[in-house]
Amino acid sequence: MSEAHRHADEAEIARLLYRYARAVDTKDWELYRSVFTPDAHIDYSSAGAAAGSRDEVADWLAANFGVLEWSMHYITNIEADVDGDTARVRAMFYNPMQFPGMSEPSFCGGYYHHDLVRTADGWRSRRLVEENVWFINKPG
């Protein structure tokens, strides 16, 4: 792969992850679905949240994450190992958020592990595992 193609893939992968963050923070669940393949598996269990198919998790997020007053996902340190039309991606996240009924914001951080595939519509995630490393002011 040429240096130019590698940079183009890395830029497109970063845009995909940024779109993911925007989708979650704006609670745009159709945009969220567009980040993933239709058969994707998503696992947020390390944070005590849902794991399942793309649509199961999107529906869970709509019902549960939608109650947050606000959230702001920051995705950084994106490492993409591209191999033809697949890629393994590890990226750090930092997520401040405001839970209803709590006077102070909560914060968590960790890693997103994506298995990506190149589709006719660009890169899409077919598997996401969140590795939640830390959580401050966790509700409940």
pLDDT band at 125 (very low <50, low <70, confident <90, very high): very high
Is the pLDDT assigned to residue 140 strictly greater than 90? no
Distance CA 79, CA 91 (A): 6
Pairing verdict, β 74-83 and 51-53: unpaired
Separation CA 64–CA 76 (nearest Å): 25
C-alpha closest to that of 37 among 130, 131, 122, 129: 122
Which single residue is written with the structure tokens 């199961």?
A: 56
pLDDT of residue 114: 98
102-113 pLDDT, tens digit per residue, is: 999 999 999 999
Whole-prediction pTM: 0.94
Average pLDDT over residues 72-99: 97
Q: What domains can be seen in the chain, in order of their start residue?
A: 3-136 (3.10.450.50)
Average pLDDT of the segment spanning 76-84: 97
Average pLDDT over residues 48-70: 94
Which pLDDT value is given to residue 111?
A: 98
Whole-number pLDDT of residue 1: 66
Neighbouring CB atoms inside 10 A of 103's CB total 6
